Chain A
Amino acid sequence: DAGVIQSPRHEVTEMGQEVTLRCKPISGHNSLFWYRQTMMRGLELLIYFNNNVPIDDSGMPEDRFSAKMPNASFSTLKIQPSEPRDSAVYFCASSSAGTAYNQPQHFGDGTRLSIL
């Protein structure tokens, strides 16, 4: 059974460029989470979708960040324009039916983003 699939695995781009990170959750999972991991702040929840609807986006740092989930099998996290301080590892996770928070989350391998 395929796990959570993220792409790209690595992205290096220049400041000011648009960055799009992609995630395919595990089939049948109805909750999807985007996280950012940095040395300073650890793992931070950015946004959480349930049945493709954004439920909590309070962790999205600013308007430069946006996330969409057009269907149950695909989500994107966009940063436009990107800045060097956005450099981090971005993880996507999904969990199965039920209240999202009482099910374990399954994480993708992450996208390592470097903004020069």
Chain B
Amino acid sequence: ILNVEQSPQSLHVQEGDSTNFTCSFPSSNFYALHWYRWETAKSPEALFVMTLNGDEKKKGRISATLNTKEGYSYLYIKGSQPEDSATYLCAFINQAGTALIFGKGTTLSVSS
């Protein structure tokens, strides 16, 4: 059974704090990892698609790294702002394309 785990489940930080969370996935038969940002009452919005071991991607204050050999990806947010409050989802895709599995997400709350 393929399992995608995200930790922590939820996180509360103060405005200006930097934070990071983890997505763990099966290290064999890796094809791609997606990160999505999901605000309450909206739909998931794509952040990154990562395919190569060692990939590092950045979008503004948000960045992500990928380690396919050990099966994890980190998402970093530098200088968190209240508008960063959302649930961050990762999705693992295997090489055969027969599995697209989302983690349960990390819910971030940023207080001003």
Residues of A within 8 A of B (CB): 33, 42-45, 48, 55-56, 58, 91, 93, 99-110
Contacts and interface: CB of A to CB of B under 8 A. Distances in A.
Please classify how large the interface on chain B is, using the bins under 10, 10 to 19, 20 to 34, 35 or more. Answer: 20 to 34
A110 B49 contact: no
The dominant DSSP class at the B interface is strand
Interface of B: 31-32, 34, 36, 42-46, 48-49, 51, 89, 93, 97-98, 100-105
A85 B85 CA distance: 30
Contact of B98 (A56, A91, A93): A56
Contacts of A107: 43-45
A105 B32 contact: no
A42 B44 contact: no
B100 A45 contact: yes
Contact of A100 (B46, B51, B97, B102): B97
Contacts of B43: 91, 107-110
B46 A105 contact: yes
Given A56-B98, A91-B43, A110-B43, A105 B34 contact: yes
A91 B44 CA distance: 10
Contacts of A58: 98
23 contacts: A42-B103, A42-B105, A43-B89, A43-B102, A45-B100, A45-B102, A58-B98, A91-B43, A91-B44, A99-B97, A100-B97, A101-B31, A102-B32, A104-B48, A104-B49, A105-B36, A105-B44, A105-B46, A106-B46, A107-B43, A107-B45, A109-B42, A109-B43
A26 to B, nearest CB: 12
B93 A101 contact: yes
Contact of A48 (B42, B51, B100): B100
Given A43-B89, A109-B43, A104 B34 contact: yes
A33 B36 CA distance: 15
